[in-house]
Homo-oligomer: A and B are copies of this chain.
Amino acid sequence: MTRTSRQVNLASRPNGAPVRENFAVVEAEVSAPGEGDIVVANRFMSVDPYMRGRMNDVRSYIPPFQIGQPLDGGAVGEVIESNSPDIAVGDHVVHGLGWREIAVLPAAHAQPAAQVEGVSLSANLGVLGMPGMTAYAGLVEVASFQEGDAVFVSGAAGAVGSLVGQLAKKKGASLVVGSAGTDAKVAWLTEELGFDAAFNYKNGSVGKQLGSAAPDGIDVYFDNVGGDHLQAAIHALKPHGRVALCGAISMYNNTEPAPGPNNLTLAIGKRLNLRGFIVSDHAHMRGDFVREVGGWLADGTITAQETVMQGIDSAAEAFIGLLDGANTGKMVVEL
């Protein structure tokens, strides 16, 4: 039986902010599954900020996307054919071949999807998946969060940031401050997610707004944004403060290198520790993560909002919108 699947190819490399013309939805024949392979009908696919970097032709920790080839990324779906004794037809799995409706892959490259009552399967791409784990590992391990710490997180209404703030509250932060790019998101952070304070970075200086929200300074900065957010955080950090460098979404669409923080020298006297990380280095924390976050999600004390776009034709729009802050919580595409 020959199947076809619609998929999203990289039509051209973005120059600055990506546009629709950089993406092409094409119908392609699906290769027959080999020994040990499974065929998955994707239910949800993920769009994540890190994918922007892969659209440039530069070496990084993962190879760049290739023009004329399908994009890939996190997805969750139902197994519709299996040549593996380990996975049955009807199982739901998480895997790395998103940006397409049907995926063929070795069973060993798929993980069983977590299913929490009352929680959408798509949570496997967000709060229970890579972004959730990123928040968890970044806060707990990279930033060495300690009870009583004052925490600032940028991109706080995003998939990672919204969990960072909630985790910090759960784990006894003395103060949790978030920044976001709309007044509605700011209200959501304080009214729904329990942030102590939040501000709209488009409403004024990040430094001044952070200074007002955390007049005694911060111990931890979880950076999803880079740029002036990082500079303001370095100013606000107390001695022995820690920065988890997770993302720099403000800079991903830059076509020229942007100056770094002009106050990095403060890191010496304050003994700051700035640590870049990628989530895959912290897989050993997965058990703790699923137990803690899964439990809080099940009992409703953690909120996991999603922005859901419909159909593979909206995938490019979802990704473009993600980089422009169109999402509240995790941005996913339902296929």
Contacts and interface: CB of A to CB of B under 8 A. Distances in A.
Contacts of A265: 226, 248, 251
Contacts of A257: 262-263
Most buried by B among A260, A261, A273: A260
Contacts of A274: 267, 273-275
A226 B264 contact: yes
Interface string A255-286: 00111111111111111111111100100000
A126 interface: no
A272 B262 CA distance: 19
A189 interface: no
A247 interface: yes
Contact of A259 (B226, B259, B276, B278): B259
Given A261-B260, A263-B260, A269 B61 contact: yes
B277 A271 contact: yes
Contact of A267 (B239, B251, B276): B276
Contacts of A273: 273-276
A181 interface: no
A231 B262 CA distance: 12
Contacts of A275: 267, 271-274
A60 interface: yes
A276 B281 contact: no
A4 to B, nearest CB: 35
A246 interface: yes
Contacts of A261: 260, 264
Contacts of A259: 259-260, 262
B262 A258 contact: yes
A241 to B, nearest CB: 10
A330 to B, nearest CB: 20
Contacts of A230: 264
Most buried by B among A261, A262, A265, A281: A265
A187 B211 CA distance: 49
A58 B169 CA distance: 34
A270 B60 CA distance: 8
A53 interface: yes
A123 interface: no
Contacts of A264: 226, 230, 245, 260-261, 264
B239 A268 contact: no
A266 B58 CA distance: 12
Nearest to A265: B248
18 contacts: A53-B269, A61-B270, A230-B264, A231-B260, A245-B264, A245-B267, A245-B268, A257-B263, A258-B262, A260-B260, A260-B264, A267-B275, A268-B277, A271-B281, A272-B275, A272-B276, A273-B273, A273-B275
Given A247-B268, A273-B274, 10 more contacts: A61-B269, A226-B264, A245-B268, A248-B265, A258-B262, A260-B260, A266-B276, A271-B276, A271-B281, A274-B275
- 3 smallest A-B Cβ distances: which pairs? A260-B260, A259-B259, A267-B276
Interface of A: 53, 60-61, 226, 230-231, 239, 245-248, 251, 257-278, 281
